[in-house]
Structure 1
């Protein structure tokens, strides 16, 4: 009986976990893309080689709205604004946005509907000659670093040409403004929005919800400046007063969805004692050296200590300043972090000239992978089978014992 109960409970647990693992959360949002909202496209600046890309992703729920604003005006940036109204709207003053101080150029109406806002700026791309083969930014001497690529100085293709309104995808693709070293190479930020929960079909198979968007950072064909080039990306998070960022690492024994990766890293925005998570940037510590993103093409990625406060070198321009204003620059609510790609003794960038790294950005608690059906089934068998064997063994012993007693019994007349 005990074995039967154990197996039934295991099956029930497997069913619940498998539903969660497949992301069957029923909550959905109505998602739409809008390119350069409110801008007169007939007015163009012929002196600027870069397109003023502003992509507004509006995700409307039953009683709220999440606004994502992706832009390459200045450093590539994503601005996330959560409102308590399903009818809140974005307004951009394009004349003010092009000024040295673009404060208040980006607004959400009505202002009182704004519950929370944050921004992540992708500021710099590091390249270094990994002579000692450590794949560690912190152990690399300054003399091994090449001049940093400041992403605010890049020229960017027209994101409108890549919009897929049905698939809810887009791409911000940029090149070094000088044209040197890049040739036909580029970096790109591929954006995916979601109406509901699910799992990305490509490795690392990130689990997403209706409250998140996915970002794939890609280095493709960039000409390396050394024989042992490796790369790192700097990102900067901006928060309002009273909100801080912290890095959390979650480990698991299950790697079914991302083979050989037993960890999830998160850069979360929290208040108070840290129990209330407002937003997150979440990723698996893995990158890929080929567009097909097969397991054989995987390479570890690693993050470094979070740096907080006024000592951060912020880009001169970002659309985040148009929403938060200049007071946020260099304040205590600024956090910076580096992510590098590769492992000591592993494949170098020079051999493939390709790197892709995926992450999720979203509002609220980040989605969390549970044990997969396969692992739970193995655990159920591992736990239930020994109990069943013990019970069967006990039953056999009892039966043999009773049989011996029955043979030795002599009836008395």
Structure 2
């Protein structure tokens, strides 16, 4: 199945979407979605896969005509590498993969929002490679994947959105995006918590030719698009070839709004398995092989004093190549600054002008003495 969008223009990409390219319509073990985003001088290749843990692979090629090749026989067997490649391989500039590998739940009786303070409160993780994932549901430039954890109610969902040009999502946190990026939304819907004081952690793993370094926070005074949030978190490589970006906020309701916003934090687990991403994701194994170096990060939903998980939680992030898009001061902020700082200066100038005019136009002094 193939969907073709509009022709590329200035700062514009043409996106062509294919589900299970060259393979069976309903491959066993999950779908492989291929979204090819073509620019004037290069191409981006987004692969979204549910063979194992849900994963996204982004490959940047300097050739606009580059194409994905899949060896479906070996890809489905998941016992060898190099069965996924973008050709010509010499045109590949960079690649990065994200794997939603595990979901942790812990009982936060002391309201610390940090399971490291009480390791005994952490339940065994839900391995997302073992989730019964649905078939990929397609829309124009997005795809959705949902699954159910065995022996538990509710569902886990991941949504991918690819963009042809600059813009902003209509829903909070309203991340700014460009045509070199894609947006991922992760949410828990109706998942029954094990306790009344449960909080969740999401383990996110990355695989990249240029490993991502420490997360940096970029501050701003403008919270027009995400009220009460003044920072953007960026997970980037030293070479600045790719990035993962998000705002440190999640939402406890399907209708994201300020009243249900909850802060989130990130931290790195002490022990990291260098091959776990390959063993849990057929996409990572097929492209990178077994000998992959991964970096894991835990996203912790909620801080001390925040409400505990009830029945919903959503988080949105952006992944792309080059420099991440950053908000500039909006017209509203510039207007506030102009009024707040400009008004006193304007009053001072007007006051000074009035004094000068009064002094210059006042009555001239007389040379005659008054007669009594």
RMSD over aligned CA atoms reads 2.1
TM-score by length of 1: 0.82
1:136-167 CA distances to partner (integer Å, 9 max, x unpaired)?
A: 2433x1210111001111111010xx2113xx
- Distance in 2 (CA, whole Å) between partners of 1:70 and 1:121 is 10
Q: Identify the residue that residue 88 of structure 1 maps to in structure 2.
A: 66
The yes-or-no answer on 1:146 pairing with 2:123 is yes
Kept in 1, the 8 Å contact 2:278–2:284? The answer is no
- Give the 3-state SS of the residue equivalent to 2:156 in structure 1: strand
Kept in 2, the 8 Å contact 1:123–1:315? The answer is no
- Give the 3-state SS of the residue equivalent to 1:224 in structure 2: coil
2:138 to 155, 163, 166: 163
Q: Identify the residue that residue 189 of structure 1 maps to in structure 2.
A: 158
5+ long unaligned stretches in structure 1:
1-24, 46-50, 272-276
TM-score by length of 2: 0.91
Q: Identify the residue that residue 392 of structure 1 maps to in structure 2.
A: 350
Quick check: 386-395 or 29-38, which moved more?
386-395
Cα gap change, 1:315 to 1:117, in 2 (>3 Å): closer
Q: Identify the residue that residue 300 of structure 1 maps to in structure 2.
A: 263
Equivalent pairs counted in the alignment come to 360
Kept in 2, the 8 Å contact 1:307–1:335? The answer is no
User: What displacement does 1:317 show?
Assistant: 3.0
The yes-or-no answer on 1:37 pairing with 2:21 is yes
User: What displacement does 1:114 show?
Assistant: 0.6
User: What displacement does 1:246 show?
Assistant: 2.8
The yes-or-no answer on 1:401 pairing with 2:364 is no
Q: Identify the residue that residue 148 of structure 2 maps to in structure 1.
A: 175
User: What displacement does 1:386 show?
Assistant: 2.3
1:215-248 CA distances to partner (integer Å, 9 max, x unpaired)?
A: 11010011111111110101111122x5443311
Kept in 2, the 8 Å contact 1:126–1:231? The answer is yes
1:366 to 324, 328, 353: 324
Kept in 2, the 8 Å contact 1:284–1:359? The answer is yes
User: What displacement does 1:409 show?
Assistant: 3.8
- Distance in 2 (CA, whole Å) between partners of 1:308 and 1:144 is 18
User: What displacement does 1:411 show?
Assistant: 8.0
- Give the 3-state SS of the residue equivalent to 2:355 in structure 1: helix
The yes-or-no answer on 1:382 pairing with 2:340 is yes
1:377-406 CA distances to partner (integer Å, 9 max, x unpaired)?
A: 1112223222222221111222232344x4
Any residues of structure 2 matched to 1:313-328 within 5 Å, and which?
313-314=276-277, 316-318=279-281, 319-328=283-292
Cα gap change, 1:143 to 1:339, in 2 (>3 Å): same
User: What displacement does 1:57 show?
Assistant: 1.2
Kept in 1, the 8 Å contact 2:69–2:85? The answer is yes
- Distance in 2 (CA, whole Å) between partners of 1:200 and 1:363 is 19
Quick check: 393-402 or 69-78, which moved more?
393-402
